[in-house]
Amino acid sequence: MILTELKSYLVENKRVPLIDMAHHFDVAPDAVKGMLEHWIRKGKVRRLEGSNCDKGCCQADQTHLEIYEWVGDKSPTTNNI
């Protein structure tokens, strides 16, 4: 997976849970997070708050609750790496 592939995937899908990106690219969620940090620093991606569980009641895997959204330019072919 390279930065432009991740960008294209986010532009196409708008908002994507971390686990979906990990499955799509067949990599660990932490690897995707590392790539996302590049785009977050550039102001192109933002992390959205997922479902919050009160008092630790939530049994869900945090990677299912971590959602990212592309907020930069909409063209996947622009080379702003």
What is the rounded CA–CA span in Å between residue 15 and residue 68? 6
Using the 8-state DSSP alphabet, how is residue 5 labeled? H
Residue 16, H or E segment? strand 15-17
Q: Residue 78's pLDDT band (boundaries 50, 70, 90)? A: low
Residue 25 neighbours by CB under 8 Å, 6+ apart: 1, 5, 6, 9, 32
For the domain covering 3-70, report its CATH number: 1.10.10
Q: Residue 75's pLDDT band (boundaries 50, 70, 90)? A: low
Per-domain residue ranges for the chain? 3-70
Q: Residue 47's pLDDT band (boundaries 50, 70, 90)? A: very high
Q: What is the mean pLDDT of residues 10-16?
A: 96
Residue 72 neighbours by CB under 8 Å, 6+ apart: 7, 39, 42, 43, 44, 45, 80
